[in-house]
Structure 1
């Protein structure tokens, strides 16, 4: 009889504790991907490969020419003294010109992470890649926003398809340091020499 009461107590205990626990589904809507779906990024934390193909060029020319010529002359003649003559001529010429030309090209490929899904479905991306070439550190930072339809089936997007893109490419090391102007040259330029 005691064994039957013990088993009944154990069954009641399991029924009451089982009712207190909640069952969770193995299906998670935010992580669901059909078996036939491609491997494109679609949620925060997914990676996307960005091919950076940026070309830019600018050219500006300016020519300025100014000429000025002024003249004043006077002639005074008195009967007792010799004639007195005076004259002032002022002339000035200025020719100026300038030209600036700049061209840049950046080719890189880096993987970035989806940091946010916007209400309209666009994804914010951010990432950084650091390379060391001949003891020089080369750093590429990328931030931007992409539409899901701009990402290819191979999970790749071109940098030209990013909205609000911020791409920085910075080199640090001896070579980069030698390309910077010296402090005394900046002071001389500021003083106008």
Structure 2
């Protein structure tokens, strides 16, 4: 009877699967920084972007062409004609654009490259006065550029693509209407 109980206890013990409390994909040493370093980790990006561009052009052209013909018979002039063509053009233009974007976006590490760089991507949407504003961000980050607080400035992101789009009445009013675009193509 004792032998049967021992065999039964051994069969129950061997049938139970062994599980470990250690999971390699989520393990972090006690002395490690709380920085993003693997796919799925969240990283905070402080977007501080300023851009300014000025373009100007001045054009001036002058053209005068003159053609004259005379038909003579002997000493007497039989016919005379003249053609004068001239033109003046003065043109100029100036374009100036300034933009500034200050925001904080949380992104996710999508991939760790063989070089150790982190490929990040994320988006943030915010509605203000019934206007939907969306910031999307992607690029490459060196782990050394991430602060102890798990924050990286946008100026330290390689191959950065930062897009800021607004949708609503104000954004719609800033777009040229279709008929104006058509007139621009025709040259009016």
Question: TM-score when scaled to structure 1?
Answer: 0.85
Correspondences of 1:148-159 after superposition (within 5 Å): 148-159=143-154
1:88-107 deviation line (CA, Å, top 9, x unaligned): 22222222323222221111
1:43-93 deviation line (CA, Å, top 9, x unaligned): 222111100011111222222232222222233333596653222222222
CA RMSD of aligned residues (A): 2.2
Matched, 1:113 2:108: yes
Unaligned runs of 5+ in 2: none
1:65 alignment partner in structure 2: 60
Q: C-alpha distance in 2, partners of 1:106/1:118?
A: 29
The structure with the largest alpha-carbon Rg is 1
Unaligned runs of 5+ in 1: none
2:3 alignment partner in structure 1: 8
2:79 alignment partner in structure 1: 84
Correspondences of 1:1-193 after superposition (within 5 Å): 5=1, 7-16=2-11, 18-19=13-14, 23-78=18-73, 83-193=78-188
What SS does structure 2 have at the residue aligned with 1:77?
strand
1:115-147 deviation line (CA, Å, top 9, x unaligned): 222222211212111111111111111112211
The number of residue pairs the alignment matches comes to 188
What SS does structure 1 have at the residue aligned with 2:170?
helix
Is the 2:71–2:77 contact (alpha carbons within 8 Å) kept by the matching residues of 1?
Answer: no
